[in-house]
Structure 1
Amino acid sequence: MEVCSSSSPPIRAGTAMAPAGQKKGVLERLDAGEVVIGDGGFVFALEKRGYVKAGPWTPEAAAEHPEAVRQLHREFLRAGANVMQTFTFYASDDKLDNRGNTQRFTGQQINEAACDLAREVASEGDALVAGGVSQTPSYLSCKSEQDVKAIFKKQLDVFVQKNVDFLIAEYFEHVEEAEWAVQVLKTTGKPVAATLCIGPEGDLNRVSPGDCAVRLVKAGAQIVGINCHFDPETCVKTVKLMKEGVEKAGLKAHYMSQPLAYHTPDCNRQGFIDLPEFPFSLEPRILTRWDMQKYAREAYNAGIRYIGGCCGFEPYHIRALSEELAAERGFLPAGSEKHGNWGSGLDMHTKPWVRARARRDYWEKLKPASGRPLCPSMSTPDGWGITKGHADLMQQKEATSQEQLKVLFNKADKNQ
């Protein structure tokens, strides 16, 4: 099947493959001006499928239900992703110990299983494996730099053993902790990417995006950007500020964006975690595939060449990114074999009024309805305004007691 738009020549759908042993590295691709498409969100997708527990968000599914993780990797590959990021989000021992890891998998077991799954699927296409570390409860509980770095080092040992292609330090609310992560990851000699989960106002200590990016580049990151917490529009805006800061400092870097798949114009500095709908009622905010095509184009025009997604991103969202940038990449993903560009497949629908929707301008101009009478267009974020060092963020292994919950419930009621 051939899929094309009115403004570009036909591009055949199919998974791009590189000759055995000749895959280009991530920096080689970015240095050449190629578009790297990341994968989507794993914890949210697997929670909806029944393999991850909301709240802890820990990735024991890599060891407990490898078939579920493997299948999601494969769907992202088919959608056009050429990075398989290991499902190691929050796979540090301190997080696993104090957040309900009831199956008692060790961090090493989870990280090893995640690397094997990502490598298995990456080998089915022209995809690279990225080993990822994220923020730690130890940092929020004011542990020392040495203690926090030791946690990253423990995960890193597995990534080195499994010979991942590059490394990502992602989902950091404080640039200081991200710097520590980058410094540890750089010891391997592998390429390092670093992304913060911040918006245009900066990190939770009010360090600006530009200054954050400069600090990450100086720490050794070759790719910097934003992931999670905010929608694509906000993330692209924030990466632009990072790019301005890096260029003003006379430094060089590549840029990446892996936002939420949710509209979040009403978020405050903390991002979607403060929205009342988090995490179980966010579906009305989901971006359409057409919103995703707009995001892909805006990110590309902003000079971002590593473009992917985080929480809420399903394979069809990644396919939309791939389709929007098919001309730049030179191919469409295998998943486009069953998807007509800009709704063109509807020209085979039995109903004439649906066939009339088989055109780009219809979907670009559409304003989707929520279907919910009296549904508000915006929310008021909780905005408790606490971060590292606050007593409420000190981690404990025991489940939150009923007395502790009562205090939280009362505080939440007063904030409404």
Structure 2
Amino acid sequence: MAPKKGLLQRLNEGVVIGDGGFVFALEKRGYVKAGPWTPEATVENPEAVRQLHREFLRAGADVMQAFTFYASDDKLSNRGNESSKKYTCRGINDAACHLAREVAEEGNGLVAGGLSQTPTYLSGLGKENTQKEFQRQVDVFVENKVDFLIAEYFEHVEEIEWAIEVCLKSGLPVVASMCIGPEGDLHGIPAGECAVKMAKAGAHVVGINCHFDPFVTLEGLKKMKAALDAASIKVHLIAQPLAYLTPDAHKQGFIDLPEFPFALESRICTRWEMHRYAREAYNLGVRYIGGCCGFEPYHIRAVAEELATERGMLPKASEKHEPWAGGLKMHTKPWVRARATRNYWETLKPSSGRPYCSSMSKPDNWGVTAGDSILKQKTEATSEAEISQLRTKAKTVNGV
């Protein structure tokens, strides 16, 4: 048997499809607590995590990303879930790697170990302390022989540069992905400059994940690609956006939307919008194409079906799904059979079913990540005037 191709070889030869959003998917299924968003489900409910991996693999994902989001010890110590405080970064990440590897070996999948931004950085405790949190995670990933590392969900390019530095010591390929939009990071560094900084720090793949929908994310990636081209830097690009439409979100993306996190369902992209996302991402030059919060297996299946020619195959899950609604030709109702066309679904403007609801929202527009003390004061404020003063104070504290 020929050895399994690694991430960079696969990207050089074609396209790699990532998986979807474990945090939101498992929260909806009752295995993750909203707020902390920590992944102790890998220890408490491993079968739930295993099954979600399996569904993404069947849908066409090439990568089984270990469910290690927000699993640094400093984050776990703050998660406010008494029943899970006994779990550590090492225990959770080790279990996550075993689950991801088990499912990856059922197909031709790669296993990725992921780390994300830390409370240590946001608290201003410095590079050395922040990198210690990263190193503890990377040590577990190396012990578990993951195929590559992903530093994702970083709002500040400085912190992800520190993460890349730690990841590179492993000798593994490094993917770096920030949760930013076209405006750039929360210190005001433009998206293009963020890409250049990540690449110069040594990342092999750079891009954007989370916070924004596929099409806003691609606008940010266009800026990244232009800056990388201008600097004559050659790296691969990654896109792993939300499955929620966010045209009205601003710098902090869907977190600013009043529907976050429990009323986002009306914003979910259709599978047909995911076809469009996959094609536009591929045409832009993105070769690592996946999803983040809100992405379910059927979204990844749509990406895989759109790129079937480029990949030379359809996913296993397409056995139950004919491209562009072909299965509807067997429906008993003639008007539903008439919908078995690509044109019908590509041009449809879905309705929300909620009379008198607006099409967009008024975001909170914090624009920066305020410290816990500021957020606590905001929560306790009782008047609009107090809230306005706190917004101004928060922006001043964060150097805006």
1:199 and 1:238 in contact (8 A); partners too: yes
2:186 and 2:367 in contact (8 A); partners too: no
Task: Determine helix, strand or coil for the equivalent of 1:194.
Answer: strand
1:142 and 1:389 in contact (8 A); partners too: no
Which of 45, 54, 62 is the aligned partner of 1:65? 45
Structure 1 185/216 Cα, relative in aligned 2: closer, same or farther at 3 Å? same
CA distance in 1, matches of 2:221, 2:366: 26
CA distance in 2, matches of 1:53, 1:121: 24
Q: Tell me which residue corresponds to 1:258.
A: 240
Length, aligned pairs only: 387
Q: Tell me which residue corresponds to 2:380.
A: 407
CA distance in 2, matches of 1:175, 1:322: 31
Q: CA deviation at 1:243?
A: 1.1
1:141 and 1:388 in contact (8 A); partners too: no
Q: CA deviation at 1:414?
A: 5.1
Cα deviations by residue, 1:187-217 (Å, 9 ceiling, x for unpaired):
0110000000001111001101111111111
Structure 1 337/101 Cα, relative in aligned 2: closer, same or farther at 3 Å? same
Give the 5 Å matches for 1:252-401: 252-387=234-369, 391-392=373-374
Q: CA deviation at 1:384?
A: 2.5
Q: CA deviation at 1:346?
A: 0.4
Task: Determine helix, strand or coil for the equivalent of 1:188.
Answer: coil
2:177 and 2:207 in contact (8 A); partners too: yes
Cα deviations by residue, 1:35-83 (Å, 9 ceiling, x for unpaired):
1000000000000000000000000001110000000000000000000
CA distance in 2, matches of 1:53, 1:409: 28
1:58 and 1:101 in contact (8 A); partners too: no
Task: Determine helix, strand or coil for the equivalent of 1:126.
Answer: coil
CA distance in 2, matches of 1:343, 1:413: 53
1:194 and 1:224 in contact (8 A); partners too: yes
Which of 117, 138, 143 is the aligned partner of 1:156? 138
Counterpart amino acid of residue 325 in structure 2: G
Task: Determine helix, strand or coil for the equivalent of 2:67.
Answer: coil
Q: Tell me which residue corresponds to 2:68.
A: 88
1:139 and 1:388 in contact (8 A); partners too: no
1:166 and 1:191 in contact (8 A); partners too: yes
**What are the ranges of 5 or more consecutive residues in structure 2 without an aligned counterpart?**
392-400
Deviates more, 1:22-31 or 1:110-119: 22-31
CA distance in 2, matches of 1:85, 1:358: 34
CA distance in 1, matches of 2:365, 2:76: 27
Q: Tell me which residue corresponds to 1:12.
A: none
Q: Does 1:129 align with 2:102?
A: no
Q: Tell me which residue corresponds to 1:197.
A: 179
Deviates more, 1:66-75 or 1:377-386: 377-386
Counterpart amino acid of residue 318 in structure 2: S
Task: Determine helix, strand or coil for the equivalent of 1:90.
Answer: coil
Which of 50, 54, 66 is the aligned partner of 1:74? 54
Which of 40, 47, 55 is the aligned partner of 2:20? 40
2:241 and 2:292 in contact (8 A); partners too: yes
Q: Tell me which residue corresponds to 2:102.
A: 120
Q: Does 1:212 align with 2:194?
A: yes
Tell me which of the two structures has the higher relative contact order, counting C-alpha pairs closer than 8 angstroms and 6 or more residues apart: 1
Q: CA deviation at 1:246?
A: 1.2
Cα deviations by residue, 1:271-291 (Å, 9 ceiling, x for unpaired):
100000000000000000000
Task: Determine helix, strand or coil for the equivalent of 1:372.
Answer: coil
Identity %: 66
CA distance in 2, matches of 1:120, 1:386: 39
2:242 and 2:292 in contact (8 A); partners too: yes
Q: Does 1:233 align with 2:206?
A: no
Q: Tell me which residue corresponds to 1:11.
A: none
Q: Tell me which residue corresponds to 2:7.
A: 26
2:213 and 2:244 in contact (8 A); partners too: yes
2:378 and 2:387 in contact (8 A); partners too: no
CA distance in 1, matches of 2:110, 2:382: 45
Q: Tell me which residue corresponds to 2:398.
A: none
Cα deviations by residue, 1:358-416 (Å, 9 ceiling, x for unpaired):
111111111101100011111111012432667436xxxxxx7xxx6751565699579
Structure 1 412/384 Cα, relative in aligned 2: closer, same or farther at 3 Å? farther
Q: CA deviation at 1:250?
A: 1.6
- TM-score using structure 1 length: 0.90
Task: Determine helix, strand or coil for the equivalent of 1:195.
Answer: strand
Cα deviations by residue, 1:64-117 (Å, 9 ceiling, x for unpaired):
100000000000000000000010000000000012242221111100000000
Counterpart amino acid of residue 66 in structure 1: P
CA distance in 1, matches of 2:79, 2:5: 38
Counterpart amino acid of residue 158 in structure 2: E
**What are the ranges of 5 or more consecutive residues in structure 1 without an aligned counterpart?**
1-18, 394-399
Q: Tell me which residue corresponds to 1:179.
A: 161
Alignment RMSD, CA only?
1.7
CA distance in 2, matches of 1:212, 1:23: 32
Structure 1 366/99 Cα, relative in aligned 2: closer, same or farther at 3 Å? same
Counterpart amino acid of residue 273 in structure 1: I
